[in-house]
Chain A
Amino acid sequence: DAGVIQSPRHEVTEMGQEVTLRCKPISGHDYLFWYRQTMMRGLELLIYFNNNVPIDDSGMPEDRFSAKMPNASFSTLKIQPSEPRDSAVYFCASARGYNQPQHFGDGTRLSIL
């Protein structure tokens, strides 16, 4: 089985630009999670979906952040406009069911200049 696939692996852009991060979960997994990892704050849950429906977005830092899951095999996390403090590694993870182990992608390292 292919794992969780994230793209791009690295993104460098200037502040004010729109950034789109993409995720393909493992087939058959009905939960999808977006996390952000920084040295200062560690790993934080931003939002999660169940069966393509957003369940909890309380971790989304600001209205500049939005996430969608148009179908079971694709999700996006957008930042518009981006700011230097958004620089972090963003991870997508998926899980087969409630309270099951989460499978992580290798992340997108985002640098906002």
Chain B
Amino acid sequence: SQQGEEDPQALSIQEGENATMNCSYKTSINNLQWYRQNSGRGLVHLILIRSNEREKHSGRLRVTLDTSKKSSSLLITASRAADTASYFCATGVGNAGNMLTFGGGTRLMVKP
């Protein structure tokens, strides 16, 4: 089974609204990363948060990590139509932190 599971599987919002996606995982992690994938393209790295960090920001993106609950969230503020994509969380575990296990993704649609 997958280490990371995103919730919801699909999300549809209006432009300008905020979008929140959640990720839960099962075992202790070294780091957690969020990626975006546009249709027909490869994944693009968004944010990496290490197990000793609780929150990171990058532009309109905010990621939180709660290791006690084994969960993370990705918040996109003031969404734009161009944010329409699938978003994946990926976890790196222990000494094999480079070996990422990806969740099933959240499909985000932002309507103009």
A77 within 8 A of B: no
Contact partners of B88 in chain A: CB under 8 A:
43
0/1 string, B94-111, CB within 8 A of A gives 1? 001111111111000000
Contact partners of B96 in chain A: CB under 8 A:
56
Interface bin, chain A = 20 to 34
B31 within 8 A of A: yes
0/1 string, A36-60, CB within 8 A of B gives 1? 0000001111001000000010000
Which residues in B have some Cβ–Cβ distance to A below 8 Å? 2, 30-31, 33, 35, 40-45, 48, 50, 88, 92, 96-105
Which residues in A have some Cβ–Cβ distance to B below 8 Å? 4, 31, 33, 42-45, 48, 56, 91, 93, 95, 98-107
